[in-house]
Structure 1
Amino acid sequence: MTPSDETSGAAQRRPYINETFQQRIRPYIEILNDDEAKQYFAEAETAVEQLAAIGKDPEEVLQIMENIGLYLSGNSGKNFTADYQKIRLSEGRELWSIQLPGGGNVNLFRTPDGDMVLDTGYGCCYDDVEKMLHTLGIDGFTHVKKVICTHADADHCGAAGFLPVTPLMHPVTKQILDAGTRGFGSDTRNEELERAYTTTINTFSKMNVPDHVDLCKTEPKKMHGLFPVIDEVEFGGMHFEIWESLGGHIAGQLFLYEKNEGLLFTSDALINFASMTKARKDYCSIADYLVTSVNVNSEIARTERHELMRIAKEIDAELKAKGKRLLLCCGHGAVSMLDDAGNMISACEPIHYAAQ
């Protein structure tokens, strides 16, 4: 092939992000002004080129990008569905774990002192979740007095700007939100893919970044296994230790442990995939496809998973001796317990909700 042939081939391939595709996704990027949209299309073009270079079909890449918007818009409003678990805690407290159709769980603690939200879900799900809560006899998010975001992905902090209080997060999470790429603070080799994916998911899901945030402490107080215990939060009679992740899934990710209630929140480092529907698992696989791995460092992520499971089994054994069990609250899927073989099973059967 001559240089002119190569040039001709390149001209036939580009642009991948053509006018037709731009028009197809316009409904999902309405919040971007003209300059922002132009920059996004340029970043997306580079991402498609990189994925094509490793053997992925550009047309399939474009369709999968569009599928994010199609899935989120097709599972909202009158078509919104979710699953939830209502778990009774001590002294009149309750944990409502709401598993959204796309994205991470919303964890709502109801206490005599008010409500606390741990992870907010996508911005585009906020109205639907609030309506769901009203339908279930809860006064929406009216009584929320504390919000904690475990990490910067849109499905975990995307509705933070809608909630009535300033959210708490790791300083690196704030930096990731400011930088506009989930690759910030990591040694990922896929920075251009991470940036294009971050803009896609944040925009399509209508992320609402809060104007102000509270930052957790970062100086280690002690260690719990491999994880530094960097801060503590008191709310509604509960005492949460905040553990800092090793940064396998994303830099700045937090885990939370409430000893008295036996709750371990692992965010996206540990997930009960078996409890998820096929549609939700398929949607979660989009990130793997578009950035080659949902984790910014897969090796570190494996280390985190193994360590969290080791710790979970250790804590569960201690609680069993007291007649209690550890509840594993993962970033996606059902709140779980460990069976005799050490595998995660749903702590109670999730209840299905459909918009009325």
Structure 2
Amino acid sequence: MMLDTDFLERIAPYIEPLTAEERAEYIAEGEVSVQIREGEGITPKDYLQLVENIGLYLGKTSGEGFESNYQTIQLSNGKTLLVIQLPGGGNLNVFLTPEGKMILDTGYGCYYKDCERMIKALNAGDFSDVKFVVCTHGDADHCGASGYFPVTPVMHPVTKALLESGTRGYASPNGREILEKFYTTTINTYSRMNVPETVEYCKTEPVGTRGLFPVIDSFSFADMQFEVWASLGGHIAGQIFLYEPNEGLLFTSDALLNFATLSKARADYSSIADSMIGSVNVNSETARIERRELLRIAKEFDELQKAAGKRLLICCGHGAVSILDEKGMLSPYSEPLYYAADSC
């Protein structure tokens, strides 16, 4: 047995939320996953260390160990966009407006209280006045805290189906279904995912296109108008992108990352999913097509913003809010500031 008694004792605190039946299924899927990756060059010992490292890292970076980098971006009419790079996983985007807060992607469930303490320390209030929450896709680092906010989150119906299926490989057969399922259970459980049973769905019928991406809906909040684009499903089924033309904001979710701006610790943590599954994208070729198309569109939109004396701000799923440099590469829009729980 690959998942021996010692290993199971070490991960026991992380899998505590699982029922006895779920735990038995998790262990069985772990056994198969170990064997699959061993055949691909990762030793059982190294693979299981990756699994344990998720729990160790999330525990180390929660509570007193919580730290982040953040950017504060002034928008029009008294609005501010606060983009928080969480210590593990994707960015938390907080719109501070006279009408209350909008949240775009929520981070892990285990970081919710830390994030609220952080925005309080930054004199941005708390989460009690959140009026609108949007989740771009079904990975735990983008929707895992959505059940804590005081409003029903909005997501693509495929995202909700994916969450109910228990695997990020839902609707994307790629021959790695067991690996996808074991990783999904690991990350959802260890990070204490909390997604409400009832969510609101965005529309899915195309009403136009932006390059290769169907425009499927629009959201309004404060005086902002967001276009909602359907992804091609390269990273995960049901992923959406959002574009706000007046403020010049393009939210690319995990189709575009500014990996170079991640700290070494965050970059190392981010690599765990690739190592456990083989690729964090359910379809790597489609993901490459999406990246190229988003960068092409971004270049066009940036020219439009330049004509108005502004720049297109590319809000990646991970890493700093960026602009395109002279070579068309992502470059931080501003120098991220540092926050640590023990500094406030």
- With normalisation by structure 1, the TM-score equals 0.95
1:257 to 243, 247, 250: 243
1:296 paired with 2:282, answer: yes
Aligned to 1:334: 320
Letter in 2 for 1:155: D
Q: How many angstroms does 1:187 deviate by?
A: 2.6
1:122-271 to 2 correspondence within 5 Å? 122-271=108-257
Equivalents in 2 of 1:257, 1:81: separation in Å? Answer: 29
Q: CA RMSD of the aligned region, Å?
A: 0.7
Q: How many angstroms does 1:142 deviate by?
A: 1.0
What do the CA deviations read for 1:130-189 (whole angstroms, capped 9, x no partner)? 111111112211110000000000000000011110000000000010000000011321
Letter in 2 for 1:341: K
1:99 paired with 2:85, answer: yes
Letter in 1 for 2:103: V
What do the CA deviations read for 1:309-356 (whole angstroms, capped 9, x no partner)? 000001001111111100000000000011111111111111100003
Equivalents in 2 of 1:278, 1:238: separation in Å? Answer: 35
SS at match of 2:269: helix
Equivalents in 2 of 1:264, 1:238: separation in Å? Answer: 13
1:76 to 50, 59, 62: 62
Equivalents in 2 of 1:149, 1:81: separation in Å? Answer: 22
SS at match of 2:266: helix
| Aligned length, in residue pairs | 342
Q: How many angstroms does 1:211 deviate by?
A: 2.1
Equivalents in 1 of 2:322, 2:332: separation in Å? Answer: 4
2:29 to 31, 43, 46: 43
Equivalents in 1 of 2:41, 2:225: separation in Å? Answer: 49
Equivalents in 2 of 1:276, 1:53: separation in Å? Answer: 31
Equivalents in 2 of 1:29, 1:127: separation in Å? Answer: 20
Q: How many angstroms does 1:96 deviate by?
A: 0.3
Q: How many angstroms does 1:32 deviate by?
A: 1.0
What do the CA deviations read for 1:48-88 (whole angstroms, capped 9, x no partner)? 11111222111000001100000000111111101111100
1:352 paired with 2:338, answer: yes
What do the CA deviations read for 1:18-75 (whole angstroms, capped 9, x no partner)? 1111001011111112221111111111111111122211100000110000000011
Letter in 1 for 2:277: V
What do the CA deviations read for 1:95-115 (whole angstroms, capped 9, x no partner)? 000000000000000111111
1:285 paired with 2:306, answer: no
Aligned to 1:27: 13
2:260 to 250, 262, 274: 274
Aligned to 1:7: none
Equivalents in 2 of 1:187, 1:41: separation in Å? Answer: 22
Equivalents in 1 of 2:41, 2:107: separation in Å? Answer: 33
SS at match of 1:27: coil
Identity of aligned residues (%): 59
Aligned to 1:309: 295
SS at match of 2:12: helix
SS at match of 1:28: coil
Equivalents in 2 of 1:130, 1:29: separation in Å? Answer: 25
- With normalisation by structure 2, the TM-score equals 0.98
